[in-house]
Amino acid sequence: MIEELSRLGYKEHKNLEISYYSLAHYEGRAFHIWETHKDQGYRIVFVNGTIATRAFKQLVFNSPSVNVVFGNITDPVGEGVIDDFISPPKANFTGVSYPVKVDDRFRFIRRVMPTAKIFAIIYADMPQAHSYKKWVENMLNLQEFKDIKIIFRKVKFVKSEGGHKRMASFAKEHILELNEIVDAFISSNDMMGGQKPFAEIVYKHATKPLIGLGKNDVMDSWGATASIYPSLIWGGKKAARMIKRLFEGESIKNIIPVWPATGIAIDLVKAKKFGLNIPNDVIEEAGDNIIK
């Protein structure tokens, strides 16, 4: 996002000043940060993720003095900051959501594993995971997916920067429990599911493939066999273009929030190990995102 802003003429330390703050997954930190720094004249707040978006909704929703651009949030509609992805923003929030649409993700899984019917989703007890679980449950009501069964298991949410490692270790017991029952594991859309330790622990302890959440799950050999992922580069550039429009005086009401662009990645070595025959059209679509 910052690189794209620079390309668009907004260069940090020249005509662009940015202050960085980390919540470390503690929503309450946002209140202290904003109370301490809100009078410094910020025109835009960029919030990264569900927890940050939720916190700033409580702080500045409908405030006339600041606009908020979000990125990497699972469910901005469920969080109440927008109504949908086709209407003008209802308040002072817009941006780019994180996940691939659930229907599209499962259609991709069908292409990769056409005979698979039973899947496990092990998720962290945090807001974005609960939203994602609800989306999956709603999807299962569609006729197209009536033959699919999802087994959910929850692990305790561990706050802190390294909490995803602890949560991944908690997931081990569920991996061992479900391994003989399911056809595949699916990474949940949360802080645990999107990180390396979870993919690694599934690959270490399961004899079934993992469908990852991001590109790195596959291309950096974390442990996933395949993934349809949101393009973070595209999302960063899109957020930058939204911010540019706001800097230049355009109303946030004109800047409609968007779903991310997507890509796919395949590890053909792992696919062979798990007995998957990846169709040629999937391989062609993945382009360079293939491990052979």
Alpha helix (H) ranges present in the chain? 2-7, 29-37, 50-60, 102-112, 127-139, 163-178, 196-205, 216-219, 232-247, 268-273, 280-286
Residues 51/27, Cβ–Cβ less than 8 Å: yes
Q: Is 90 exceeded by the pLDDT of residue 257?
A: yes
Q: Nearest Cα to 96, choosing from 230, 192, 282?
A: 230
Percent of the chain with pLDDT over 90: 89
Residues 120-140 have pLDDT tens digits of 999 999 888 998 999 999 999
**Alpha carbon 289 to chain centroid, angstroms:** 19
Distance CA 123, CA 189 (A): 8
User: What predicted TM-score, i.e. pTM, was given to this entire model?
Assistant: 0.84
